Amino acid sequence: MAKLGALVAFFSLLATLSLGRELLKGEDNYFALTIYYTQGPLTLYVANSWLGYGKWVNGYTEIGSPNGLTMTAWGEYHITASGRNWSPTGTEGSFDVYSSDGQRVLYMYWNVIYAGMGDWRASVFDNRFKVTGNLIWR
């Protein structure tokens, strides 16, 4: 009987962990940004990247800050951040994009809340750029 009780407790623990995994999918709350640089001879670079919470990702793999990412004309560039695994959080952050002549051309801010709400703002200071973003909850 003790073995049966231990077995029931073990399977209860597994069910709890499985349910907890479903409830704490912070990684499934993410912000994906695409920057299109349509014309111009300048090289662009990302600077001042900041995360209040979450992580920078490529797919589900954590990567370093996008600071220093360079962009050239006619390119499409992706910057993605997500919540952390096993954490009931989303992601909040920002970064700037500067041109090689030192001019600020884009400021980006997002806040993806775990509860399924959020927003993002792009301040584009140069009309050669088009910015699209997606807030994604699963």
Q: What is the pLDDT of residues 75-123, one digit of tens each?
A: 777 888 888 877 777 888 999 999 888 889 889 898 887 766 677 788 8
What are the extents of the domains in the chain? 26-136
d(CA 129, CA 61): 28
By CB atoms closer than 10 A (0-12, 13-18, 19+), residue 70 is exposed
Q: Is the pLDDT of residue 50 over 90?
A: yes
pLDDT of residue 70: 87
What is the edge-to-edge ordering of all strands in the sheet holding 55-58?
Answer: 61-62, 55-58, 75-82, 30-37, 129-136
What mean pLDDT value characterizes the chain? Answer: 72
Helix, strand and coil percent figures for the chain, each rounded to 5: 20, 50, 35
Q: CATH: 2.40.110.10, 1.10.10.60, 3.90.180.10, 2.60.270.50. Which one for 26-136?
A: 2.60.270.50
Is this structure's pTM higher than 0.85?
Answer: no
Tokens for 41, please give them.
């001879």
Task: Answer whether 97's CB lies under 8 Å from 44's CB.
Answer: yes
Q: Name every residue whose Cβ is closer than 8 Å to that of residue 94 and which is 6 or more positions away in sequence.
A: 48, 49, 50, 107, 108, 109, 110
What is the edge-to-edge ordering of all strands in the sheet holding 118-124?
Answer: 70-71, 44-53, 91-99, 104-112, 118-124
Tokens for 1, please give them.
């009987």
pLDDT of residue 94: 93
